[in-house]
Every structure is written in structure tokens, then in C-alpha cells.
Amino acid sequence: MSLVLADTSVWVRIRQPSVGPLLAAAAKRNVLAMVGPIALEILRSARDTVQLEREAQDLHHLNQIPVQPPVVARALQVQAALARRGYHRGPSSVDLLAAAAAESVGAELWHCDRHFELIRQVTGQPMRKVGR
């Protein structure tokens, strides 16, 4: 399996029986990836500095996908394509950047957010709905 990028919508469901073991298995196989914008969303919910630092360290150990200018350019292209379809206010900037980052390295994007299905209609990239 290639890399897997799990969106925040998956991470917040980690306690669901169908999600936690799946993330753990991907991490054990060293295919779980992280991108800066998703890390920022995850860390935003930390209760205190200790939790934030601990979680940041855990996320740092995952495969990192950089958000370089070509990734931003692709996110903008997808946003424009969605706007032409009437969905420019659907996916957030984090959704667009995460999808573009995953696409840039051929990673499968795991999500539990209908906005990613809109993105997939434009990009055709591999995605998987995880959780409920």
C-alpha cells in the first residue's frame, strides 16, 4: 500500500471501532502520513500545552507530506474547477490543501467529510470514506 493521509474528520473519530484500529494498522505499517494543515487542525483541540506538545511529537513521527508551491497551485486549480461547478464554498482550504498534498505523492486520502467527494469528482484521486 502507498501512503495514507487521514483527514481531521478521521482523526476525530479515532475512538470509533472501525477507525482506531485502521489508523493504528496504517501507523504500524509506516504508511500513515501527515500534512501541516491537518496537524494544525488536530492540535487546535489540545486541552493544554502538555497535550499539544505530546500530540505534536506523535504527529511529527508520521511520514510528512510537504505543502510546496505546486501543492498550493493544485489546490487553487481544484478550487477553481469546483467553482465552475457551483461548489467553490464547499471544501475548506485545509480540505483542498490536504487533497492536493495527498495527490502530489500518490497517497490515498481517508476522510469522513462529503467535501472530499466533491474534490474527487475533479481530481479522480484515490480516497476512502472512513468512519461514520
Q: How many helices (H) and strands (E) does the chain have?
A: 7, 5
**pLDDT for position 56:** 96
Evaluate if residue 1 carries a pLDDT over 80: no
What are the cell numbers at 92? 475548506
Non-local (6+) Cβ contacts of 20 within 8 A are: 14
**pLDDT for position 94:** 95
Non-local (6+) Cβ contacts of 49 within 8 A are: none
Cα 71–Cα 121–Cα 87 angle in degrees, nearest 5: 80
Evaluate if residue 84 carries a pLDDT over 80: yes
**pLDDT for position 64:** 96
> Chain-wide mean pLDDT for the chain?
94
Task: Calculate mean pLDDT across residues 73-98.
Answer: 93
Task: Calculate mean pLDDT across residues 56-75.
Answer: 96
CATH superfamily membership of 4-129: 5'-nuclease (3.40.50.1010)
Domains of the chain by residue range: 4-129
Answer whether 8's CB lies under 8 Å from 37's CB: no
